[in-house]
Chains A and B, each alone.
Chain A
C-alpha cells in the first residue's frame, strides 16, 4: 500500500443516530429496532400533506454537545434546509438537513497514528438531519417483477452527520478516527453507535494523487500547475470499524493498479462486500449531485444563546484521550492498559471504582496495577466469553475486591480465583459464597492431608529414617505414598511441605 509515487487522500462521512426518545421532527418513538414495520409512524414522518415538522430540543442539544467535544465552532442560529431527491425511502420527496450553515463547523480530534505519534484530523462540519425509511428490494417469483418493501419506522429518527476534512492519509488513520468518533458519541451518550444495527454508518471517499502535484485548498484539494486530479471513489455498506480499514486498503490498491494500467478512474460509488473482502461497483456518478437545496419554510430559525451552550457543555465528561493521559500519570499504567481500560465509559468507571476500593492502605499505583491486571485479564476474558457487559450487576465490585484480596493474601491461587469468578457468572452463584466454600474446602483438605501424612510416616519407618539420616531423595517416595492415599487429589507441593514440616518437627 505504501507507494512512494502516490499520496492517499481520504475524507470520511459518518452518520450517527441520536439516542433520543422521540424522532427529529415528530413525537413518534425512536425505539423501532425489531418492532413491527410501520408502527412508529405518524403523518409527519410519513410525509403526509399538511403535516408540520417540529424540531426536537434534545436532538439539537446532542448535536451541539458533539460539536463542543470535537472543538467545533457552534453557530448562533440553526437553519434547516430541504435536500430534494426522489426515492421511496423518503416520503416527503426531500430530507430535512442543513446546507450552508451546519450547527457545528471547523473542529478536530486527535488520534494516535501507526507509529504511536499524535495526528490531528480536521472536522469540516457536523450537522443535524433526519434518517430515511428502510427499504428492502425483492423480485416477485410468479411475475419476475421487481418491488420494494418499505418500513417507515426509521424515517425521521435524528441523524447527525460528521464530515471530516480530507486530511486522513491512510486506512489506519481512517479506522482510528471512526473509532474515536464512536467512543466520543458513546461516552457522551449521544448514540449507542452500534454499526451492526445501523446506528453508525461510515462512508469514506478516497482519491489517489501523484506526489507533489496537488495541494490543500478551501477544505478540499486542488491541482498544482496543469496536473489533472484523479476523481474520488466513495465506499458504502461498511458494517464495522475494522471494515473501514479493510475496505479503504482494498480501494487504495485497486485505484493504484488502475492508474498504473493507464486507465482513468471514473467517479463512482462502490459497496464493501465483507464476505468476499472486496469492494464492488454500485453506480457511476457522471453528473454532480443536484439536490436543489432550499431553506425549509416550515421550520423557523432557532437562536442559540450563550446560556444554552453553557448548559449543554456541562454534559461533557472526561473523554478517552484525557483519561489515557491521567491513567499514565496517576496510575503509571502501560499504553496498552490505558487504551483498553478507557475504550468504554462504563468500563473505565468500573475500573476506577475498583482502584479506589483497593487503594485503602495501599500505594495507588500498586492498586491500579492490580486492578488493571484483574479487569483486563479475568474480567475481560469472562465478559467476552459470556458476552456480558462489565458492570456492577455482572461483576459486583465489593465481591471482586474480596476475591482480589484473597488472591493477594495467598488464600486462593490465581487459577482458583479466576475459576470462582467464572463460576459466579455461569450459574449465578454469588461470589462471596463461592469464596467461602473454597476456603472451607481448602481447610478441610488441609486437615485431611495432615492425617494422611501422619499415617504415611507411621507406615514407612524405613523411608522415614533414611530421610532423617540425610537421604533427602526419599521424600519423593513418601510424596508418592500420600498421593496414592488421596487418590491423586492432593497438591503434591502441599503434600511435600506438610511432610517436611512433620518430619523435621
Chain B
C-alpha cells in the first residue's frame, strides 16, 4: 500500500484526504492488509466454497407487493423536496451512471 493507491481508493469513495491524512492512514491501511494476508495463509485447498446453491424453482415468483409509503421512505432523509430525496454537493465528479 502506497500513498498513491490510498488516494485512488479514497477518490473512488468520494473522500478527500489531505496530504497529512494520507501520510497518517497509509501505514494504518498497511496493517489492515497484513491482517488479511494472514488469513490468506490458511490452506483452504480442501475446503469447498461456502456459497449456497439453489435451484431455479427456489427463486422468487414475480408478484408485486406493497412498497413503503413515501413518508416512510423520506423519513430518514436530511433534505427532501416534493417527494424527492435532495442531495447537496458535488458528489458526482466523473463517475459514470449506469
Q: Which of B55, B63, B91 contacts A22 (CB 8 A)?
A: B63
A85 touches B67 (CB 8 A): no
Interface 9-mer from A33-41, A401-409, A417-425: A33-41
Q: Which residues of B contact A27 (CB under 8 A)?
A: 60, 63-65
Q: Chain A interface: which size bin?
A: 35 or more
User: In the complex the two chains form, what is the Cα distance from A85 to B91 in whole Å?
Assistant: 12
A interface vs B, CB < 8 Å?
20-22, 27-31, 36-43, 46, 54-60, 77, 83-90, 95, 129, 131-132, 135, 137, 145-152, 269, 283-285, 287, 289-290, 292, 295, 297, 300-305, 308
Which residues in chain B, 32-55, are within 8 Å of chain A measured between CB atoms?
51-55
Chosen A-B contacts, 28 in total, with CB atoms closer than 8 Å, are A27-B63, A28-B65, A29-B64, A29-B65, A37-B83, A38-B74, A39-B70, A55-B60, A57-B60, A57-B62, A83-B98, A85-B95, A86-B14, A86-B91, A88-B87, A89-B97, A131-B98, A135-B97, A146-B90, A147-B79, A148-B86, A148-B92, A149-B86, A290-B8, A297-B51, A302-B58, A303-B54, A305-B56
Q: Chain B interface: which size bin?
A: 35 or more
Chain B, residue nearest A286 (CB):
B94
Q: Which residues of B contact A95 (CB under 8 A)?
A: 98
Q: Which residues of A contact B51 (CB under 8 A)?
A: 295, 297, 300-301
A85 touches B87 (CB 8 A): no
Q: Which of B13, B68, B84 contacts A86 (CB 8 A)?
A: B13
User: In the complex the two chains form, what is the Cα distance from A301 to B13 in whole Å?
Assistant: 29
User: In the complex the two chains form, what is the Cα distance from A40 to B64 in whole Å?
Assistant: 10
User: In the complex the two chains form, what is the Cα distance from A131 to B84 in whole Å?
Assistant: 18
Q: Which residues of A contact B83 (CB under 8 A)?
A: 36-39, 151
Q: Which residues of B contact A36 (CB under 8 A)?
A: 70, 83
Chain A, residue nearest B52 (CB):
A300
A38 touches B53 (CB 8 A): no
Q: Which residues of B contact A60 (CB under 8 A)?
A: 56, 59
B54 touches A300 (CB 8 A): yes
Q: Which residues of A contact B96 (CB under 8 A)?
A: 85, 269, 289
Q: Contacts A46-B73, A152-B73, A303-B56 hold; do A21 and B62 have CB atoms under 8 A apart? A: yes
Chain B, residue nearest A89 (CB):
B97
